[in-house]
A and B are shown apart, each in its own frame.
Chain A
Amino acid sequence: MAKVIPGFKVIQGGPQSVLQDSGRFGYQKLGFANGGPLDVESYYWAQRLCDNNTEATAIEILLGGVVLEALAGTVLAITGAEMPVTINGERKELWQSQRINAGDQLEIGFTSKGLRSYLAVSGGFDVPEFLGSSSTVVREEIGGLDGKALQAGQILDINNQVNDRILMLAESDRPKIQASSSAGAAEIVLRVLPGYQFEKFPEEKRQLFFSSTFKVSNRCDRMGYCLNGPDVSSGISSLLSEGICLGAVQVPPDGQPIVLLNDRQTIGGYPKLGSVVSCDISKLAQCGPGTRVRFSKISVRQAHAEILLANERRERTQLVNLEL
């Protein structure tokens, strides 16, 4: 059994850094959101680089601005958005594990590309579980430490289980961060599985949805991404509240679509066109306001095959051992 020890002291928490394991599942019927990492790809690789099981608790860092003081020697890895990382002022690489010693200062600067990065530590952060998960859902004030984002002065416990392997994910195997953090030329395509009230939207609105370019608005967070573009409203007046799955594209009466993410409300009554597949949600979560978004259709068989393929590809990927 791993011993729990104080691992880090938070010197600076950043705009919103939240402890996340793989998510809180099985409790949506009681109204609890799933939580969990928005970019599951980057989260997965951070765990693999630390030789962790792929459900261990990591920190999801929004934008950057995090400073931690190590209280014990361990191994860590940072993946995802391109944030400059230093240990005691010395520049360190993303997508590979790093040794850190007690007393060292880890600084994660602000991102130049992408929005979210994942900091995993060997053995995982040790956080009390609520309903089987450590995931922080700030809106519900649960999970993590007191249901909130990281605050200066907090001590982060870790499971002391130091692996001596220093690993790297080859550049060709890394997920591509497609968007810059500021409004730029970036454009992403999200594949949507038509479903829910799809057939009830007028034909013309469905065509408009798949042929137009939308822009990520300023209202984008862990609950959902609001997009601006042509009016694709359904004309459906009232709908009984129903369960909402990850990636559901709901269209309120103003005709502006919202892609619902991990911290979404569990039920709601707006008409939905379908859902964005999870592989593409990882990409969307790295995009900030101004990013251009287009939608394309995917069939149920394709979507299912994508999940299995992506998983197979990940599991087969060998990490590079840097200290052989």
Chain B
Amino acid sequence: MRIENAGENSVIGWFADHASVEVNESVMATCNNLEQSMGGAIIDLVPSYASLLVIFDPFRTHHAEVRERLSAAFERDSSSETITTVIELPVLYGEAFGPDLTRISENAGVTEAQVAELHQSIEYRVYAIGFAPGFAYLGEVDSRLATPRLETPRQNVPKGAVAIADRKTAVYPAQSPGGWNLIGLCPTRLIDPAAESPMLITVGDRVRFVEIDESQYLSLGGEL
């Protein structure tokens, strides 16, 4: 792992120069180790694909100590005991709900139904959360579905939109601008401010998509 100073009260560790399940698992294991070993001296931990940003309390520790602790927390061998949560997300696929579905199916040379099937065929890993609260980067989609981002992002992507960009897929937790390709809608609430743990998904979790029809979508609280 390569460690550098990031800011006046932060350091960043890079685990590799590429993303992979193993690298990401190592990031998460290290993140958890560090949280346990440094506890209150940590203000924020920001894990991503292959890096971990550590923001610390400058009145309780300093760069040199955090670098040492990060290095010590570095977990090369992601232990098999890690408990993985698998989250199932229902999706209403269709051109009417995901206006880029047809284009993706044409590019891939498959039917729209097959796009939905291929999208459901993989148990995805949550590599990172960012861009917006609860926006989970899931990977990787079947290579046939890989589609570059829109050249001009949409002003308004609806809440619950299921989307693909390159070999990543995601569900928009709230209405926002966005440049990903839309293939359907998910009725599940990803953020619940009132709940004890307000976020449904965290880094390291697995996500499966399951097709539903319009009436199921509505009965699950989806809005059209």
Please determine whether B198 and A131 come into contact, CB atoms closer than 8 angstroms: yes
Q: Does B164 contact A (CB under 8 A)?
A: no
**Binary contact track A117-148/B, C-beta < 8 Å → 1, others 0:** 00000000000001100000000111000000
Please determine whether B51 and A242 come into contact, CB atoms closer than 8 angstroms: yes
Residues of B within 8 A of A243 (CB): 6, 12, 46-48, 51-53
In whole angstroms, how far apart are the Cα atoms of A121 and B133 in the complex? Answer: 30
In whole angstroms, how far apart are the Cα atoms of A303 and B137 in the complex? Answer: 34
Please determine whether A29 and B5 come into contact, CB atoms closer than 8 angstroms: no
Measured between C-beta atoms, what is the minimum distance from B3 to chain A in Å? 11
Interface residues of B in 1-53 (CB under 8 A from A): 4-10, 12, 14, 17-19, 31, 43-53
Please determine whether A31 and B63 come into contact, CB atoms closer than 8 angstroms: no
Please determine whether A265 and B8 come into contact, CB atoms closer than 8 angstroms: no
Please determine whether B198 and A275 come into contact, CB atoms closer than 8 angstroms: no
Please determine whether A30 and B129 come into contact, CB atoms closer than 8 angstroms: yes
Q: Does A2 contact B (CB under 8 A)?
A: no
Q: Does B94 contact A (CB under 8 A)?
A: no
Of all chain A residues, the one with the shortest Cβ separation from B14 is: A242
Measured between C-beta atoms, what is the minimum distance from A303 to chain B in Å? 4
Of all chain A residues, the one with the shortest Cβ separation from B193 is: A130
Residues of B within 8 A of A193 (CB): 5, 7-8
Of all chain A residues, the one with the shortest Cβ separation from B133 is: A31
Measured between C-beta atoms, what is the minimum distance from A319 to chain B in Å? 22
Please determine whether A29 and B44 come into contact, CB atoms closer than 8 angstroms: yes
User: Interface stretch among B54-62, B206-214, B215-223?
Assistant: B54-62
Please determine whether A267 and B131 come into contact, CB atoms closer than 8 angstroms: yes
Please determine whether A32 and B133 come into contact, CB atoms closer than 8 angstroms: yes
User: Given A240-B19, A243-B46 in contact, is the A29-B202 Cβ separation under 8 Å?
Assistant: yes
Measured between C-beta atoms, what is the minimum distance from B2 to chain A in Å? 11
Please determine whether A140 and B133 come into contact, CB atoms closer than 8 angstroms: yes
Of all chain A residues, the one with the shortest Cβ separation from B16 is: A240
> Could you say which of B45, B50, B133, B202 has the most chain A C-beta atoms within 10 Å of its C-beta?
B133
Measured between C-beta atoms, what is the minimum distance from B8 to chain A in Å? 4
**Binary contact track A263-286/B, C-beta < 8 Å → 1, others 0:** 001111000001101100000000
Please determine whether A265 and B130 come into contact, CB atoms closer than 8 angstroms: yes
In whole angstroms, how far apart are the Cα atoms of A265 and B58 in the complex? Answer: 22
Interface residues of A in 241-255 (CB under 8 A from B): 241-248
**Binary contact track A20-62/B, C-beta < 8 Å → 1, others 0:** 0000011111111010000000000000000000000000000
Q: Does A322 contact B (CB under 8 A)?
A: no
Residues of A within 8 A of B14 (CB): 242
> Could you say which of B53, B135, B193 has the most chain A C-beta atoms within 10 Å of its C-beta?
B53
Please determine whether B6 and A275 come into contact, CB atoms closer than 8 angstroms: yes
In whole angstroms, how far apart are the Cα atoms of A174 and B199 in the complex? Answer: 42
In whole angstroms, how far apart are the Cα atoms of A255 and B39 in the complex? Answer: 38
Residues of B within 8 A of A195 (CB): 4-7, 12
Please determine whether A275 and B8 come into contact, CB atoms closer than 8 angstroms: yes
Please determine whether B19 and A242 come into contact, CB atoms closer than 8 angstroms: no
Residues of B within 8 A of A140 (CB): 132-133, 174
Of all chain A residues, the one with the shortest Cβ separation from B50 is: A240
Please determine whether B8 and A307 come into contact, CB atoms closer than 8 angstroms: yes
Residues of B within 8 A of A26 (CB): 43-44
Residues of B within 8 A of A201 (CB): none
Q: Does A311 contact B (CB under 8 A)?
A: yes
Q: Does B171 contact A (CB under 8 A)?
A: no
Q: A277 is contacted by which of B8, B43, B137 (Cβ under 8 Å)?
A: B8
Q: Does B128 contact A (CB under 8 A)?
A: yes
Q: Does A1 contact B (CB under 8 A)?
A: no
Q: B8 is contacted by which of A31, A130, A266, A303 (Cβ under 8 Å)?
A: A303
Residues of B within 8 A of A32 (CB): 133
User: Given A245-B10, A275-B8 in contact, is the A308-B59 Cβ separation under 8 Å?
Assistant: yes
Tell me the B residues contacting A by CB distance below 8 Å.
4-10, 12, 14, 17-19, 31, 43-53, 55, 58-59, 62-63, 128-135, 137, 174, 193, 198-199, 202-203
Please give me the 7 A-B residue pairs with the lowest Cβ-Cβ distance, nearest first: A243-B53, A243-B46, A267-B130, A275-B7, A245-B7, A303-B8, A31-B133
A-B contact pairs, 23 of them (CB 8 A): A25-B43, A26-B43, A29-B202, A30-B129, A30-B198, A131-B198, A142-B133, A142-B193, A240-B17, A240-B49, A240-B51, A241-B48, A241-B49, A241-B128, A241-B130, A243-B47, A244-B53, A245-B10, A265-B130, A275-B10, A300-B5, A304-B58, A308-B59
